[in-house]
């Protein structure tokens, strides 16, 4: 090795090997001096026209390159698997771990000293961060930014309205033509979902972890300041390499705790739990479901953002963004966690102001005392389940009702609109076999629609329980991530129509009122109801995926293999 960075194991070589590593690069017009040992910065790009939330990323990558050049680095942009939330069937989540493998191997196998991760749509953030953790070189995240707030018939709209529109169409309050008009009104600019859905939650997560520059989460994609942030991130990537700050130096246990506290205060998505657990598993930080409950229990909701509140990400940026939220949380946070700009998180938020108290409240006068995610336990979910209290109906947080059971998604679709379905507003809807192995891939169907005949009566929320996930844009009294999932044959697998279930969110419990003997009997008769795939990635996934309470990563992907590659290609 001639120079001090890992890229010199390629570009710094003499003879045949160095020739091979440099010569083909030169067909892109790269002059010889770029290979002189300066930091090589990979720009890991999830651009794709099939991931519309990330469709502007080639332009964003150009801004990163300006910054890298300015700081004396050599930028190289490369594509990785991109996961578009809205198009990929059966669910983008099935491929999160596959994309993370692509990212990990692409970074390790190539001559890059540091990496800028361009993330946007929901799964593109965790998959890239997971992959980068398993290599552990200097890493900085640039998110694509949220869309501008949607405008429809005089109202502000965003992705959470999809669920309202769905109910309005089913109850006859809205027709198909209006629905089509709403499409373009909602998605009227570049960027990802404009509510505090999973994409915004993930962008806030990386900012809270210290993996991005301040304000990364909320600057709209269409705002020129998004390009400035990308440019500055390019500069910082070079400096991180020069200072040899690896991603593991940023991702301490305290950084994870900060992310959990901030996620609670902003009403972030329940998907946050699953992705943060998976990231912790890669970087080797000990984190469990109980940490989420413990750390978010006393944190109030101070961001008034849909789906828990009223406003959109654009409003959050103008009100002061995540740094302003952090400043309100001063007494909760570990302030000396180091971030990618070289300063501590406390130094970063110290001088931030709040410019709109309708959007960011104080801790003393919050929008809701309830926030975050409650982890609930009981005989229905031996390894836990989660609920987002701020997005639930207060009158249902303690509720007992009779189960109306759907054995799988096809069963649900076949019967939910049946006028003879034996259900009322006190019933509890149970949906099985939508977990990691069962679906497979754990889709966002947990906030299943209310039975049509109850919608007609004006019912807008019911207790719903499943082993699936919910879109970060979704809301309702929805118990998710039941573990073990139905496909594994635990108690959840043998719930029957008419069983009494008690949900007690303040008491953090969920109880299936069926005797142990009866449950044992039912398990003897139980047969799995899932399709097993015998080839390809889905086979690998079904064989190795872990349960939701562990982050649903593949068991063999946990941890890191480092960045070293000792053998040459020719
Ligand atoms: Fe991409 Fe919502 S669909 S962020
Ligand atoms: Mg989603």
Band (248; pLDDT cuts 50, 70, 90): very high
Res 349: pLDDT: 97
CATH number of 38-148+189-349: 3.40.50.2300
Kindly state the average pLDDT of the residues 383-408.
96
293 lines ligand 1 (CB under 6 A): no
Which chain residues have CB less than 5 Å from ligand 2, an ion? Answer: 85, 122, 198, 471
Flag the least confident range among 225-234, 279-288, 427-436, 451-460. Answer: 451-460
Res 473: pLDDT: 86
199 lines ligand 1 (CB under 6 A): yes
Res 164: pLDDT: 86
Residues 80-123: tens digit of each pLDDT: 999 999 999 999 999 999 999 999 999 999 999 999 999 999 99
Task: Give 273's DSSP letter.
Answer: H
- State the Cα–Cα distance between residues 384 and 490, nearest whole angstrom: 12
Residues 431-446: tens digit of each pLDDT: 999 999 999 999 999 9
- CA-closest candidate to residue 466, choices 392, 549, 406, 553: 406
53 lines ligand 1 (CB under 6 A): yes
pTM: 0.97
Protein fold of 374-534+540-549: Glucose Oxidase; domain 1 (3.50.30)
Nearest-atom index, ligand 1, CA of 86: 3
Residue-wise burial string across 242-270, b where 16 or more C-beta atoms lie within 10 A, e elsewhere: beebbbbbbbbebbbbbbbbbbbbbbbbb
Q: What is the DSSP string of 346-406?
A: HHHHTT---S-TTTB--SSS-SBS--S-EEEEETTEEEEEEE-GGGS-GGGSEEEEEEEEE
Kindly tell me if the per-residue pLDDT of 422 is higher than 80. Answer: yes
Q: What is the DSSP string of 35-77?
A: GSSPPEEEEEE---TTSGGGTTHHHHHHHHHHHHHHTT-EEEE
197 lines ligand 1 (CB under 6 A): yes
Task: Give 514's DSSP letter.
Answer: -
Q: Which of 85, 204, 217, 473 to mutate to test the pocket of ligand 1 (most atoms within 8 A of CB)?
A: 85
- State the Cα–Cα distance between residues 307 and 390, nearest whole angstrom: 9
Nearest-atom index, ligand 1, CA of 53: 1
SS3 for 509?
strand
- State the Cα–Cα distance between residues 257 and 287, nearest whole angstrom: 9
Residues 207-220: tens digit of each pLDDT: 999 999 999 999 99
- State the Cα–Cα distance between residues 565 and 556, nearest whole angstrom: 19
Res 477: pLDDT: 97
CATH 3.50.30.80 residue ranges of the chain are: 374-534+540-549
Kindly tell me if the per-residue pLDDT of 516 is higher than 60. Answer: yes
Nearest-atom index, ligand 1, CA of 471: 2
Res 237: pLDDT: 98
Instruction: Tell me whether 0.90 is exceeded by the ipTM.
Output: yes
Kindly state the average pLDDT of the residues 491-506.
98
Residue 87 CB neighbour total at 10 angstroms: 11
Q: Whose CA is nearest to atom 3 of ligand 1?
A: 85
Residues 179-216: tens digit of each pLDDT: 999 999 999 999 999 999 999 999 999 999 999 999 99
CATH 3.40.50.2300 residue ranges of the chain are: 38-148+189-349
Res 3: pLDDT: 53
Band (168; pLDDT cuts 50, 70, 90): confident
Q: Which residues contact 491 (CB under 8 A, 6 or more apart)?
A: 379, 380, 381, 382, 512, 519
Region of residue 535 (left: phi > 0; alpha: psi -120 to 50; beta: else): beta
When the pLDDT of each residue in the chain is averaged and rounded to a whole number, the result is 96
Q: Which of 48, 118, 123, 193 to mutate to test the pocket of ligand 1 (most atoms within 8 A of CB)?
A: 193
* Adjacent-strand bridge partners of 115: 42, 139
Kindly tell me if the per-residue pLDDT of 2 is higher than 50. Answer: no
Res 1: pLDDT: 41
Band (172; pLDDT cuts 50, 70, 90): confident
Q: Which of 47, 48, 49, 53 to mutate to test the pocket of ligand 1 (most atoms within 8 A of CB)?
A: 53
Kindly tell me if the per-residue pLDDT of 46 is higher than 60. Answer: yes
């Amino acid at each position: 090795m001639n120079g001090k960075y890992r890229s010199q194991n390629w570009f710094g070589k003499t003879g045949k090997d160095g020739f091979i590593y440099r010569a083909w690069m030169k067909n892109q017009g790269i002059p010889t001096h770029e290979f002189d040992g300066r930091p090589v910065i990979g720009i890991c790009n999830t651009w794709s026209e099939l991931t519309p939330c990330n469709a502007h990323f080639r332009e964003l990558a150009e801004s990163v390159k300006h910054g890298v050049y300015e700081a004396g680095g050599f930028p190289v942009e490369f594509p990785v698997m991109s996961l578009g939330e809205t198009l990929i069937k059966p669910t983008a989540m099935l491929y999160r771990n596959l994309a993370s493998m692509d990212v990990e191997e692409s970074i390790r196998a190539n001559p890059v000293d540091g990496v800028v991760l361009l993330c946007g749509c929901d799964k593109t953030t965790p998959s890239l961060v997971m992959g980068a953790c398993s290599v552990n070189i200097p890493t900085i995240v640039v998110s694509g930014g949220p869309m501008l707030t949607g405008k429809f018939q005089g109202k502000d709209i965003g992705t959470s309205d999809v669920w309202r529109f769905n109910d309005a169409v089913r109850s006859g309050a809205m027709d198909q033509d209006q629905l089509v008009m709403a499409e373009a009104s909602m998605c009227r600019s570049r960027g990802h979902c404009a509510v505090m859905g999973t994409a915004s939650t993930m962008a806030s997560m990386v900012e809270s972890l210290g993996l991005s520059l301040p304000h990364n989460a909320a600057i709209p994609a269409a705002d020129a300041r998004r390009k400035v942030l990308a440019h500055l991130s390019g500069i910082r990537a070079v400096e991180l390499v020069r200072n040899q700050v690896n991603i593991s130096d940023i991702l301490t246990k305290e950084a994870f705790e900060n992310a959990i506290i901030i996620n609670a205060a902003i009403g972030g998505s329940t998907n946050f739990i699953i992705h943060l657990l998976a990231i912790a598993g890669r970087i080797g930080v000990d984190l469990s479901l109980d940490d989420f409950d413990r750390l978010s229990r006393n944190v109030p909701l101070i961001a008034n953002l849909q789906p828990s509140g009223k406003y959109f990400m654009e409003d959050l940026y103008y009100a002061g963004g995540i740094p302003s939220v952090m400043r309100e949380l001063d007494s909760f946070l570990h302030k000396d966690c180091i971030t990618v700009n070289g300063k501590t998180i406390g130094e970063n938020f110290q001088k931030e102001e709040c410019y709109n108290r309708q959007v960011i409240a104080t801790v003393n006068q919050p929008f809701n005392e309830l926030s975050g995610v409650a982890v609930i336990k009981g005989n229905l979910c031996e390894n836990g389940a989660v609920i987002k209290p701020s997005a639930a109906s207060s009158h249902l947080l303690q509720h007992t009702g009779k189960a109306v059971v759907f054995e799988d998604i096809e069963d649900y679709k076949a019967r939910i609109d049946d006028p003879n379905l034996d259900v009322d507003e006190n019933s509890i809807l149970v949906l099985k076999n939508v977990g990691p192995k069962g679906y497979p891939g754990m889709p966002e169907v947990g906030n299943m629609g209310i039975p049509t005949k109850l919608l007609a009566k004006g019912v807008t929320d019911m207790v719903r329980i499943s082993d699936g996930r919910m879109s970060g844009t979704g809301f309702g009294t929805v118990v998710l991530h039941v573990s073990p999932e139905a496909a594994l044959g635990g108690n959840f697998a043998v719930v029957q129509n008419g069983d009494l279930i008690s949900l007690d969110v303040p008491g953090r419990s969920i109880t299936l009122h069926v005797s142990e003997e009866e449950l044992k009997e039912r398990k003897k008769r139980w047969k799995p109801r899932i399709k097993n795939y015998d080839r390809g990635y889905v086979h690998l996934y079904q064989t190795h995926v872990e349960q939701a309470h562990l982050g649903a990563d593949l068991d063999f992907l946990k941890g890191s293999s480092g960045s070293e590659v000792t053998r040459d290609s020719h």
